[in-house]
Protein backbone atom coordinates (compact mmCIF):
# COMPACT_ATOMS: atom_id res chain seq x y z
CA UNK A 1 0.00 0.00 0.00
CA UNK A 2 1.41 3.40 -1.00
CA UNK A 3 0.49 7.02 -1.62
CA UNK A 4 1.18 8.27 -5.15
CA UNK A 5 1.08 11.93 -6.20
CA UNK A 6 -0.13 13.06 -9.64
CA UNK A 7 0.55 16.84 -9.87
CA UNK A 8 -1.63 17.59 -12.96
CA UNK A 9 0.36 18.35 -16.10
CA UNK A 10 -1.94 21.26 -17.01
CA UNK A 11 -1.79 22.88 -13.57
CA UNK A 12 1.97 22.41 -13.32
CA UNK A 13 2.46 24.19 -16.66
CA UNK A 14 0.03 27.01 -15.87
CA UNK A 15 0.91 27.62 -12.21
CA UNK A 16 4.60 26.80 -11.96
CA UNK A 17 5.55 28.28 -8.58
CA UNK A 18 2.37 27.24 -6.71
CA UNK A 19 2.70 23.74 -8.20
CA UNK A 20 6.29 23.50 -6.99
CA UNK A 21 5.23 24.59 -3.51
CA UNK A 22 2.45 21.99 -3.52
CA UNK A 23 4.92 19.29 -4.55
CA UNK A 24 7.21 20.32 -1.68
CA UNK A 25 4.26 20.20 0.73
CA UNK A 26 3.26 16.70 -0.44
CA UNK A 27 6.89 15.59 -0.17
CA UNK A 28 7.03 16.89 3.40
CA UNK A 29 3.71 15.33 4.43
CA UNK A 30 4.04 11.93 2.75
CA UNK A 31 7.71 11.67 1.68
CA UNK A 32 6.69 10.97 -1.91
CA UNK A 33 7.66 12.51 -5.23
CA UNK A 34 5.48 13.19 -8.25
CA UNK A 35 4.66 10.20 -10.42
CA UNK A 36 4.19 12.43 -13.47
CA UNK A 37 1.33 12.21 -15.95
CA UNK A 38 -1.77 10.27 -14.87
CA UNK A 39 -2.55 9.11 -18.42
CA UNK A 40 0.87 7.50 -18.77
CA UNK A 41 1.39 6.23 -15.24
CA UNK A 42 -2.01 5.35 -13.76
CA UNK A 43 -1.65 1.76 -14.96
CA UNK A 44 1.33 1.34 -12.61
CA UNK A 45 -0.90 1.71 -9.55
CA UNK A 46 -1.68 -1.26 -7.36
CA UNK A 47 -5.17 -1.97 -6.08
CA UNK A 48 -4.36 -0.79 -2.55
CA UNK A 49 -2.49 2.40 -3.55
CA UNK A 50 -3.96 5.85 -2.93
CA UNK A 51 -3.58 8.46 -5.67
CA UNK A 52 -3.25 12.02 -4.39
CA UNK A 53 -4.51 14.45 -7.05
CA UNK A 54 -5.76 17.99 -7.59
CA UNK A 55 -7.30 17.76 -11.07
CA UNK A 56 -10.87 16.63 -11.77
CA UNK A 57 -9.85 15.28 -15.17
CA UNK A 58 -7.02 13.29 -13.56
CA UNK A 59 -9.67 11.75 -11.31
CA UNK A 60 -11.69 10.65 -14.34
CA UNK A 61 -8.61 9.16 -16.01
CA UNK A 62 -7.62 7.22 -12.91
CA UNK A 63 -11.15 6.03 -12.15
CA UNK A 64 -11.48 4.75 -15.72
CA UNK A 65 -8.86 2.15 -14.80
CA UNK A 66 -11.08 -0.77 -13.78
CA UNK A 67 -8.43 -2.18 -11.43
CA UNK A 68 -8.02 0.99 -9.43
CA UNK A 69 -10.29 3.66 -7.97
CA UNK A 70 -8.80 4.96 -4.68
CA UNK A 71 -8.13 8.71 -4.89
CA UNK A 72 -7.78 11.62 -2.49
CA UNK A 73 -7.78 15.28 -3.47
CA UNK A 74 -5.08 17.58 -2.13
CA UNK A 75 -7.84 20.01 -1.14
CA UNK A 76 -9.14 17.50 1.41
CA UNK A 77 -5.63 16.85 2.74
CA UNK A 78 -4.87 20.55 3.23
CA UNK A 79 -8.30 21.20 4.73
CA UNK A 80 -7.68 18.48 7.32
CA UNK A 81 -4.12 19.62 8.09
CA UNK A 82 -4.15 21.47 11.41
CA UNK A 83 -0.58 22.67 10.87
CA UNK A 84 -1.10 24.25 7.44
CA UNK A 85 -0.44 27.99 7.48
CA UNK A 86 -3.16 29.66 5.42
CA UNK A 87 -2.63 32.99 3.65
CA UNK A 88 -4.96 35.73 4.90
CA UNK A 89 -6.98 37.57 2.24
CA UNK A 90 -8.59 39.87 4.81
CA UNK A 91 -12.23 39.25 4.01
CA UNK A 92 -11.87 39.94 0.28
CA UNK A 93 -14.96 39.02 -1.75
CA UNK A 94 -14.40 36.37 -4.40
CA UNK A 95 -16.87 34.56 -6.63
CA UNK A 96 -16.54 30.78 -6.72
CA UNK A 97 -16.94 28.93 -10.03
CA UNK A 98 -17.75 25.24 -9.63
CA UNK A 99 -16.97 22.89 -12.52
CA UNK A 100 -19.47 20.40 -13.89
CA UNK A 101 -16.71 17.78 -14.04
CA UNK A 102 -16.90 17.91 -10.24
CA UNK A 103 -20.54 16.87 -10.14
CA UNK A 104 -21.13 14.26 -7.47
CA UNK A 105 -17.89 15.15 -5.69
CA UNK A 106 -19.32 16.83 -2.62
CA UNK A 107 -16.03 16.20 -0.83
CA UNK A 108 -14.22 18.45 -3.32
CA UNK A 109 -16.92 21.13 -3.41
CA UNK A 110 -17.04 21.34 0.38
CA UNK A 111 -13.26 21.27 0.82
CA UNK A 112 -12.79 24.18 -1.59
CA UNK A 113 -15.29 26.29 0.34
CA UNK A 114 -13.73 25.36 3.66
CA UNK A 115 -10.26 26.31 2.38
CA UNK A 116 -11.49 29.68 1.14
CA UNK A 117 -13.06 30.42 4.52
CA UNK A 118 -9.82 29.47 6.27
CA UNK A 119 -8.03 31.98 4.03
CA UNK A 120 -10.45 34.66 5.25
CA UNK A 121 -12.21 34.99 1.88
CA UNK A 122 -15.86 36.00 1.66
CA UNK A 123 -17.33 33.52 -0.80
CA UNK A 124 -19.88 34.71 -3.32
CA UNK A 125 -21.88 31.95 -4.98
CA UNK A 126 -23.14 31.73 -8.55
CA UNK A 127 -26.80 30.83 -8.95
CA UNK A 128 -25.70 27.64 -10.70
CA UNK A 129 -23.28 26.08 -8.27
CA UNK A 130 -22.32 22.73 -6.76
CA UNK A 131 -23.82 19.95 -8.94
CA UNK A 132 -25.83 22.51 -10.95
CA UNK A 133 -22.69 24.22 -12.24
CA UNK A 134 -22.52 25.04 -15.93
CA UNK A 135 -20.33 22.94 -18.16
CA UNK A 136 -16.56 23.15 -17.99
CA UNK A 137 -14.92 25.90 -20.05
CA UNK A 138 -12.91 23.20 -21.82
CA UNK A 139 -15.98 22.78 -24.09
CA UNK A 140 -15.30 26.21 -25.60
CA UNK A 141 -11.51 26.31 -25.23
CA UNK A 142 -10.69 22.79 -26.45
CA UNK A 143 -13.84 22.30 -28.50
CA UNK A 144 -15.19 19.15 -26.84
CA UNK A 145 -18.55 18.07 -28.30
CA UNK A 146 -18.52 20.88 -30.87
CA UNK A 147 -18.68 20.40 -34.64
CA UNK A 148 -16.59 23.52 -35.21
CA UNK A 149 -14.06 24.78 -32.62
CA UNK A 150 -14.50 28.38 -31.50
CA UNK A 151 -12.00 30.97 -32.67
CA UNK A 152 -10.08 32.93 -30.03
CA UNK A 153 -12.32 35.93 -30.69
CA UNK A 154 -15.48 33.83 -30.28
CA UNK A 155 -14.16 32.40 -27.02
CA UNK A 156 -13.46 35.85 -25.61
CA UNK A 157 -16.90 37.11 -26.64
CA UNK A 158 -18.57 34.04 -25.09
CA UNK A 159 -16.80 34.36 -21.73
CA UNK A 160 -17.27 38.13 -21.55
CA UNK A 161 -21.01 37.56 -21.91
CA UNK A 162 -21.00 34.66 -19.45
CA UNK A 163 -19.36 36.68 -16.68
CA UNK A 164 -20.62 40.18 -17.50
CA UNK A 165 -23.05 40.35 -14.56
CA UNK A 166 -20.79 38.94 -11.85
CA UNK A 167 -20.67 41.15 -8.78
CA UNK A 168 -16.93 40.84 -8.20
CA UNK A 169 -13.92 41.06 -10.49
CA UNK A 170 -12.20 38.06 -8.87
CA UNK A 171 -13.43 34.57 -9.75
CA UNK A 172 -11.94 31.48 -8.10
CA UNK A 173 -11.88 28.09 -9.82
CA UNK A 174 -10.48 24.66 -8.99
CA UNK A 175 -10.38 23.65 -12.66
CA UNK A 176 -7.61 24.95 -14.94
CA UNK A 177 -9.93 25.34 -17.95
CA UNK A 178 -12.64 27.10 -15.94
CA UNK A 179 -9.95 29.51 -14.76
CA UNK A 180 -8.82 30.09 -18.36
CA UNK A 181 -12.40 30.93 -19.30
CA UNK A 182 -12.67 33.48 -16.50
CA UNK A 183 -9.41 35.12 -17.60
CA UNK A 184 -10.72 35.43 -21.17
CA UNK A 185 -13.74 37.33 -19.84
CA UNK A 186 -11.61 40.19 -18.56
CA UNK A 187 -12.23 39.22 -14.93
CA UNK A 188 -9.35 38.16 -12.70
CA UNK A 189 -9.31 34.38 -12.61
CA UNK A 190 -7.54 32.68 -9.72
CA UNK A 191 -7.05 28.96 -9.30
CA UNK A 192 -7.41 27.77 -5.70
CA UNK A 193 -3.82 26.52 -5.96
CA UNK A 194 -2.64 30.11 -6.50
CA UNK A 195 -4.48 31.25 -3.39
CA UNK A 196 -3.11 28.49 -1.16
CA UNK A 197 0.46 28.80 -2.46
CA UNK A 198 0.85 32.41 -3.67
CA UNK A 199 3.88 33.46 -5.69
CA UNK A 200 6.63 35.20 -3.74
Report domain extents, the chain.
3-79, 92-196
Question: Is the CB of residue 97 less than 8 Å from the CB of residue 133?
Answer: yes
Q: What are the φ/ψ torsions at residue 185 (nearest 5 degrees)?
A: -75, -15
pTM for the full predicted model: 0.92
pLDDT of residue 147: 72
Q: Which residues in the chain come in under a pLDDT of 70?
A: 1, 66, 68-69, 143-146
The span from the CA of 175 to the CA of 83, in Å, is 26
CATH of domain 92-196: 3.40.50
For the segment 46-82, what is each residue's pLDDT rounded down to a tens digit?
888 899 999 999 999 998 875 766 899 999 999 999 9
For the beta sheet containing 188-191, the strands, ordered from the edge strand earlier in sequence to the opposite edge, are 121-125, 92-97, 170-173, 188-191
pLDDT on residue 48: 85
Rounded-to-integer distance, Cα 48 and Cα 88, Å: 37
Amino acid sequence: MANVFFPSCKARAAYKEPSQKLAEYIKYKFDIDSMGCCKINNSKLNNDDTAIILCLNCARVIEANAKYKSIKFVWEIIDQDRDFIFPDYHGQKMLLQDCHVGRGRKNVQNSIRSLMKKMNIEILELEKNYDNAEHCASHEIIGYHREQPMTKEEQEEYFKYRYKNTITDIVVSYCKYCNDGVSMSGKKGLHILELLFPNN
